[in-house]
A and B are shown apart, each in its own frame.
Chain A
Amino acid sequence: MGMATSQEITRLQDLARNTRKVILETLAEAGSGHPGGSLSAVELLVTLYFYKLKHDPKNPKWPDRDRFILSKGHGAPLLYSILAQAGYFPLSELKSLRKLGALLQGHPDMDIPGIEMPAGSEGIGLSVGVGQALAARLDGRPTRTYVLMGDGEQGEGEVWEAAMSASKFKLDNLVGMIDRNGIQQDGLTEQIMPLEPLAAKWRAFNWNVIEVDGYDYLQLIEAFDTAEMTKNRPTMIIAHTVKGKGISFMEWSPMYHGTAPTKEKMEDIYKELK
């Protein structure tokens, strides 16, 4: 904990740049998948995995490890590229994403090292996070549990069931995160199913709510650290993000929610990745 050095931030920036590249190369190779919501949360997850999370890729089942739960399972390319860079499996595995016999399934499953929960059907992850946090408390483990949800995912009733139960049990070892990129599958969240005032909703459910710019490392770091110091309440980090972040023709484009870039597009993409 403590203030991040500029060196540390440069390291996170490099990791994020590489993560974006791996995501796009992986999706172009796979020919299908979800770039938009993978790109939007790159900095959020890079900061979590490479600044905050206590884990050991050489010992993925270490009981005291923190847990990261990807509730929006279609963000798999993001998580896989981070897990590979952390050392859970070779980067080369990403080449066979979504292919027959591949380790890396279209959505996470339990055969993949580093995966804490299968995902694909949105809306369940926060409940599972509540259970994980309860189990950790019962065992007296220092484990902290982090759950990443989509903003469109907030439409699922179960999210709010979980929200109530987390505050009932005062789960200060649980951190929720919302990738607030404003877009779901059919279009803008505020047109499909308006969420605002989203922060006020979570506050009303007795969560400690922190809103951040999802691309500002200092804000992200501070949010994770503050969450850890907050007692008797779970914390929800609402990260304001951009769907398709980093690639101009993908940004704010509902089409690139679930359309992989073609291999031809990769030339333009490399130019933008600098």
Chain B
Amino acid sequence: MLEKMGAMRTAYGEALVELGANNQRIVVVGADTTDSLKSGMFGAKYPERFFNLGIAEQNLIGVAAGLAFGGKVAYAGTYAIFVPGKCVDQIRNMLCYADLDVKIVCSHAGITVGPDGGSHEQVEDIALMRCVPHMRVVVPADAVAVKSIVKAIADIPGPFYVRLTRGVIKGSNTPIVYENGFEYKLGKANLIREGSDVAIFGCGIMLPEALRAAESLATKGVSASVIDIHTVKPIDEEMILKYARKCGAAVSAEEHNIMGGMGSAVSEVLTDQYPIPLKRVGVNDTFGESGEAQELLNKYGLTAAHIEDAARQAIAMKR
């Protein structure tokens, strides 16, 4: 596990091309970043169903909404920094209020955008999208999951926000967690590793880090469950409560502000139904800065070592 690498954006482009072959309703709209996002692969194959709207993100979402009103399933996306914040009005008042078949897929979320710096490091998007009624929020852990998710959501009516990472290693790659495949089920989390002392909930590129933390803890006699909360909304309450009961302590790990993200969603479930200690690993309510992805992950506390540390603290807080 975690030896292989894959690029989420390439998986996105391939998924779109495959979708487009069998489903004439699929259309793709972009905003001058379609080469980078690989949605241009769809455009090369099906130019009549591909619309580049230029640097105009609010229009991107509005046009996608119109296409959906006209019976299409519209995939719309650009870099994450330019959509959930800039277009929250269009997303709230159009996509979600009218429950439209628009699938927003954004890349370059989180601090691993790297050298571009704080202006481009989107660490609030899960929070922004999670609180809008009707919106579903998905954070794939690797390229395999991206492909499965992007294809599956075409058949699930209504709006989605899918959050991709640019890459951690050499520009575009992230470790593959799902070497043996991934089948997307809306709202069903995946148990990756079974343990009994602490439950680690991860999503996106923090899932591999959670697995590394669990391996390291195991060598020290601590048994950790690792669960992929790929769908932050609707969240899998059943799975969270099952492992809360089993382990009695929990950690969440995400490449997002610790406020309002996946960890907050998990803590909402726990505080409502089965309160146990939860330590949230994430960006600590601050903006990012320029640097290489790995340097930033180290500096902002987003590594296996930080998760391991949080696990020990959570276990120590058990009553």
Please determine whether B71 and A139 come into contact, CB atoms closer than 8 angstroms: yes
B51 interfacial by beta-carbon distance below 8 Å: yes
Q: Which residues of B contact A118 (CB under 8 A)?
A: 93-94, 97-98
Residues of B within 8 A of A134 (CB): 27, 51, 63, 66-67, 70
Quick check: is A26 within 8 A (CB to CB) of the other chain?
Answer: no
Chain A interface helix/strand/loop/mixed: helix
Contact A116:B69 (CB < 8 A) given known A124-B62, A127-B58, A161-B58: yes
> Within 8 Å CB of A129, what residues of B?
66
Kindly state whether residue A228 has any CB partner on chain B within 8 Å: no
A136→B70 contact, CB < 8 A? yes
* A141: min CB distance to chain B, Å: 8
Q: Tell whether B107 is near chain A: CB-to-CB under 8 Å.
A: no
Q: B102 → chain A, closest Cβ, in Å?
A: 9
Contact of A128 among B51, B53, B56, B63 (CB under 8 A): B63
- Please tell me which one of the listed residues A128, A133, A161 contacts residue B94 in the complex, with CB atoms under 8 A apart: A128
Check A165 for interface membership: any CB of B closer than 8 A. yes
Q: Count residues of chain A with CB under 8 A from any CB of chain B.
A: 33
- Which B residues are in CB contact (< 8 Å) with A169? 51
Distance of A161 Cα from B97 Cα, bound (Å): 22
Q: B188 within 8 Å of A by Cβ?
A: no
**Docked pose: A76 CA to B61 CA in angstroms:** 23
B59 and A165 contacting across the interface, CB-CB below 8 Å: yes
CA distance A118 to B74 in the complex (A): 18
State whether the Cβ of A220 lies closer than 8 Å to any Cβ in chain B: no
| Residues of B with C-beta under 8 A to A132 | 66-67, 69-70
A-B Cβ contacts below 8 A, count = 108
By the criterion CB–CB under 8 Å, are A130 and B58 in contact?
no
> B93-109, CB under 8 A of A: which get 1 and which 0?
11001110000000000
CB within 8 Å of B: which A105-153 residues: 109-110, 116-118, 120-121, 123-136, 138-139, 143
A117 touches B69 (CB 8 A): yes
Q: A128-B63, A131-B65 are in contact. Are A139 and B70 (CB under 8 A)?
A: yes
A158 proximal to B (CB < 8 A): yes
Residues of B contacting A120 in the complex (Cβ-Cβ under 8 angstroms): 93
Is B48 an interface residue when CB atoms closer than 8 A count as contact? yes
Q: Which chain B residues border A136 with CB–CB below 8 Å?
A: 70
- Residues of A near B72 (CB, < 8 A) are 135, 138
Q: In the bound complex, what is the Cα–Cα distance between A126 and B61 (angstroms)? A: 12
> Is A90's beta carbon under 8 Å from chain B?
no
Interface residue ranges, B against A (CB under 8 Å): 27, 48-49, 51, 53-54, 56, 58-59, 61-72, 74, 89-90, 93-94, 97-99
Q: List, sorted by A's number, 7 A–B pairs whose CB atoms are closer than 8 Å.
A: A124-B62, A127-B63, A131-B69, A132-B67, A135-B27, A143-B70, A164-B54
